[in-house]
Structure 1
Amino acid sequence: MNYSRPLSIPSGGWSQNLSSLKPKSIVHRLTHFVRWALIENWQRSWVLLLWFLAMACLFSWKFKQYKHKAAFQVMGYCLTTAKGAAETLKLNMALILLPVCRNMLTVLRSTRARFFIPFDDNINFHKTIAFAIAVGIILHVGNHMICDFPRLVNSSPEKFALIASDFHDKKPTYKELVGGVEGVTGISMLILMAFAFTLASKLFRKNQLKLPSPFNRLTGFNAFWFSHHLFGLVYILLIIHGSFLFLVHKWTHKTTWMYISVPILIYAAERSLRSGRSEHYSAKIIKVSNLPGDVFSIIMSKPNGFKYRSGQYLFLQCPSISPFEWHPFSVTSSPGDDYLSVHIRTVGDWTKELKEVLTDDNGSACTIGRAKFRKLGEVNSKGLPKLLLDGPYGAPAQDYRNYDVLLLVGLGIGATPFISILRDLLNNNRTLEDQTDSNTETSISGDSLLSLASSKMASTTEKKKSRRAKSANFYWVTREPGSFEWFKGVMNEVAEMDHKGQIEMHNYLTSVYEEGDARSTLITMVQALTHAKHGVDILSGTRV
């Protein structure tokens, strides 16, 4: 069943009087928030609550531990606060690596853990931990530099005698405290992390801050990417810093390495796997098409052993453009296809440069710059640059087979994962039809009963192994009429092959005039007449 929404139907009235739905009193607002947290976001709530409790317990435990030490008589609550914050820093420096271990999360996404842990919020949790680290640094470094170091330096001989053995019976100066191993490593980590955190902010990462040359190199994805790798040095300094602590002498009490060793090993294995797999998954470009709306599609050969599910995404790297940049894109082909396809919208420097390298204005392979790529040895026989793949990685849309009825809503280029799902559903329908035809032919042959029983058993087993959605409703909302060219072939193919009406497609174009406008009325009339006569929509050029 194919359906196009009349262009003149207004949507402005739908949003009227929504303000009356908001709770007025404080009690109602609090009740609404509790309901939102417990019912709609219970997964996020319990993870965050557990994380807060862990930090609170560690802070309180270390706070009380140092409150009963002799050093408390000299440095007071400045010391206990700094040490409590340091304990939360150890935990968060260990946890912050786990949300970016994509391969581990992809594996866990296929287990029952997905019912309790919101894996889709891994980057948000990563940013939340980073904010907690920033707060911990302020408490830890601030209390050391401003409070307990001055109190130690200016302490009376009687009080200093309580902890003199920790400093070899010699009262240190402020310069000695800051210039020692603990001070140098701590200040170095502070500088590196402040630099990395700043360049990771939205203003710098998305190039929203315009700086004069040469400071403009500090903005954009490259600056964010390279600065984030400074954390490798930060972890080395953290281990050294945790091995030369004041007031702690037994190695069993120096627990920094205990916190971060396992996450570092997991992250190192993750990066090693990604690096080795990307070299193995080198894709050959089959076709490049230039599409309206600053979009281009790439059809690549599927590397051996590359298995994925519809709805998942992969990372692409073009070594000729940048040997370090990896960018994620949803796969628009289905697992049953013998090729890989992605649709890319040019929204940044890297995607714009990739489009210039791969396509010209006519949508064919570009010849500009091929001599440069040949010198680098990064081209195939057609003169196109080599592309490296990394993935696939899990995404929310990959669980579509767990549901009988699918509601797929895509906005603009955000519809790419759903195109893969539609392709997969279409391929499944073809497979079922082929199996039905095969079963019919087999039943006519001599051994009809035995063959038909065997084919039915095989079909039943396959259905148990792979659940298939019974129906799907695809809503695509786009702003530009030219956007319909992106997936025109898929839509026409679904319209022709879906004889049972299992897939409904709905196109919405938002850049139209309001109801009552003569232009909108005229377009609607022509649209209805053309679709009724020829079965083709005048705006999208498809049967939808």
Structure 2
Amino acid sequence: MDVSCSACVLVSRGEDSKVLQVWQLCCPALEVAIYPGNVLTLQMTKPATFRYKSGQYMFVQCPAVSPFEWHPFSITSAPGDEYLSIHVRQLGDWTRELKRVFSAACEPPVSGKSGLLRADETTKKTLPKLLIDGPYGSPAQDYGKYDVLLLVGLGIGATPFISILKDLLNNIIKMEEEEDTSTDLYPPIGRNKPHVDLGTLMRVTSRPRKVLKTTNAYFYWVTREQGSFDWFKGVMNEIADMDQRNIIEMHNYLTSVYEEGDARSALITMLQALNHAKNGVDVVSGTKVRTHFARPNWKKVLAKIASKHPYAKIGVFYCGAPVLAQELAKLCHEFNGKCTTKFEFHKEYF
């Protein structure tokens, strides 16, 4: 075992105890990026024994902060990724101290990389040790049973859905690649070979094909802080680059700017349109996704989805403050009583 690695990860697979079935693994790489919006991203090599689903979470301990405290965080990497990642927002004493100890190991960002401070396996300073326990289940992990997804995150509440969006795209791309491969296995038919070997044909056609139930996803992210875009823009751009089939529709809402209809809001919108048309980048978020102002009209959002997907089963997943959860749950119930589309609401609070 390489004891010179930058971080050690203690993985506990026991659901009821942090001392059952424990493996200690040294990871050759761990990366941290600390952003202006009081958010840090921690990335570590995924242990070979660690299996999880998108939407699940794990507990994290940092002995340099406290040898006794464990805190839950959504896993933001996709199951197909070769690493584990979490996004942490500074909200209390523990997260404030976590930011401090990792900041001590960070260096200023190099050209072309976002983040106020950054460190990885090339950093000279030793990175703090992390312990992880999990994974643990959440409602969002069953997203695959729905035809369409509506994902709503407030601020840091977007983190459970990062993994889902990446996993959905990865699965669709993988399925299409497998279909292309199976097509290549069919024996050619032509003048030189007018007959097909029945045994070969039976073997090819009898192979089970994976069918994904989920075909589309709508992602709404609402934040009050423009600085939040700095840590989230890398994720949004990555998803936009992967989504060549327009499977995911992403929307950003910045609620701290002037209300829509305000003259100042209209000016910003005009500048947005000009910059997006010229450079393909939103002037507010710095991403390929256009930013809206004020708050979404959730009734119009659900009406649009119901109109586009009649008879579909829609999974509505929300992570944020309790107030909006009540509104979304009420709207789902209302639409279920008057249209063929069926909405199922799930919530998580932070």
Class of the TM-score when normalised by the shorter of the 2 chains:
0.5 to 0.7
- Cα distance in 2 for partners of 1:499, 1:356 equals 39
The alignment status of 1:364 with 2:118, answered yes or no, reads yes
1:506 counterpart residue number: 251
- 1:521 corresponds to 2:275: no
State the shift of 1:445 in Å: 6.5
Q: Following TM superposition, by how much is the alpha carbon of 1:514 offset from its aligned partner in structure 2, in angstroms?
A: 2.5
Asked whether the 8 Å contact 1:530–1:536 carries over to 2, the reply is: yes
Structure 2 counterpart of 1:205: none
Matched, 1:351 2:95: yes
Contact 1:412 1:476 in 2 (8 A): yes
1:496 aligns to what SS in structure 2?
helix
Q: Is the 1:406–1:472 Cα contact (8 Å) retained in structure 2? A: yes
Report the CA distance between 1:309 and its aligned residue: 0.5
What do residues 347-382 of structure 1 show as CA deviations (whole Å, max 9, x unaligned)? 11111111111124731239xxxxxxxxxxxxx995
TM-score normalised by structure 2 residue count: 0.67
Larger Rg: 1
1:442 aligns with 2:185: yes
Aligned equivalent of 2:161, options 418, 432, 456: 418
1:74-104 residue CA offsets vs partner (Å, 9 max, x unmatched): xxxxxxxxxxxxxxxxxxxxxxxxxxxx966
| 1:335 maps to amino acid | P
CA distance in 1: counterparts of 2:246 and 2:78, whole angstroms: 20
The residue type equivalent to 2:48 in the other structure is N
* Partner Cα distance (2:252, 2:266) in 1: 18
Distance 1:533 1:387, change over 3 A: same
- CA deviation string 1:217-274 (max 9, x = no partner): xxxxxxxxxxxxxxxxxxxxxxxxxxxxxxxxxxxxxxxxxxxxxxxxxxxxx22xx2
Counterpart in the other structure of 1:480: 225
Cα 1:470–1:456 change in 2 (3 A) is farther
Contact 2:59 2:132 survives alignment (8 Å): yes
Higher helix share: 1
Equivalents in 2 of 1:524, 1:427: separation in Å? 33
Note closer, same or farther for the CA distance 1:453–1:280 as it changes in structure 2 (3 Å cut): farther
> Which SS does the other structure have where 2:227 is aligned?
helix
**Residues 449 and 334 (structure 1), Cα distance of their counterparts in 2 relative to 1, 3 Å cut:** farther
> SS at 1:486's partner residue?
helix
Match of 2:130 in 1: 387
Q: Secondary structure at the match of 1:474?
A: strand
Residue-pair matches, total: 259
Counterpart AA for 1:351 = T
SS in 2 for 1:415: helix
> Aligned with 1:276: secondary structure?
coil
What amino acid maps onto 2:185 in structure 1? T
Structure 1, gaps ≥5 residues long: 1-101, 105-269, 367-379
Q: 2:205, 2:90 → 1: CA distance? A: 49
In the alignment, the residues of structure 2 paired with residue 451 and residue 477 of structure 1 have an alpha-carbon distance, to the nearest angstrom, of 54
In 1, are the aligned partners of 2:14 and 2:20 still within 8 Å (CA)? no
Which of 487, 492, 506 is matched with 2:237 structurally?
A: 492
Contact 1:283 1:388 in 2 (8 A): no
Change (3 A) 1:290 1:539: same
Extract unaligned runs of 5+ from structure 2: 1-12, 109-116, 190-195, 290-350
Counterpart of 2:136, as a letter, is Y
Aligned to 1:288: 32
Q: Quick check: 2:37–2:230 contact (8 Å CA) kept in 1?
A: no
State the Cα distance separating 1:449 from its structure 2 match.
Answer: 8.2
Is contact 1:279-1:388 (8 Å) kept? no
Alignment of 1:191-202 (within 5 A): none
More strand by percentage: 2
- 1:528 maps to a residue whose letter is A
| CA positional deviation for 1:331 | 0.3
Q: How far apart are 1:512 and its partner, in Å? A: 1.1
Distance, in Å, in 2 between the alignment partners of 1:448 and 1:527 is 60
What secondary structure, in the 3-state scheme, does the structure 2 residue paired with 1:310 have?
coil
How far apart, in 1, do the equivalents of 2:204 and 2:35 lie?
44
Cα distance change of structure 1 residues 502 and 479 upon mapping to structure 2, 3 Å threshold: same
Taking structure 1 as reference, are residues 350 and 304 closer, same or farther at Cα in structure 2, changes over 3 Å only?
Answer: same
Q: Is residue 541 of structure 1 aligned with residue 295 of structure 2?
A: no
Q: Please give the root-mean-square deviation of Cα atoms over the aligned residues, in Å.
A: 2.8
**Could you tell me how far 1:396 is from its partner in structure 2?**
1.3
C-alpha change, 1:448 and 1:301, in structure 2 (3 Å) is farther
Q: CA deviation at 1:499?
A: 2.6
**Does the CA-based 8 Å contact 2:107-2:119 persist in structure 1?**
no
In the superposition, the TM-score normalised over structure 1's length comes to 0.44
CA contact (8 A) 1:311 1:330 kept: yes
The residue identity in structure 1 corresponding to 2:147 is D
The Cα offsets for residues 8-57 of structure 1, whole Å up to 9 and x where unpaired, read as: xxxxxxxxxxxxxxxxxxxxxxxxxxxxxxxxxxxxxxxxxxxxxxxxxx
Map 1:202-217; keep pairs closer than 5 Å.
none
1:308 paired to 2:62 = no
Q: CA deviation at 1:429?
A: 2.0
Q: Which residue of 2 aligns with 1:330?
A: 74
C-alpha separation between the residues in 1 aligned to 2:100 and 2:267? 39
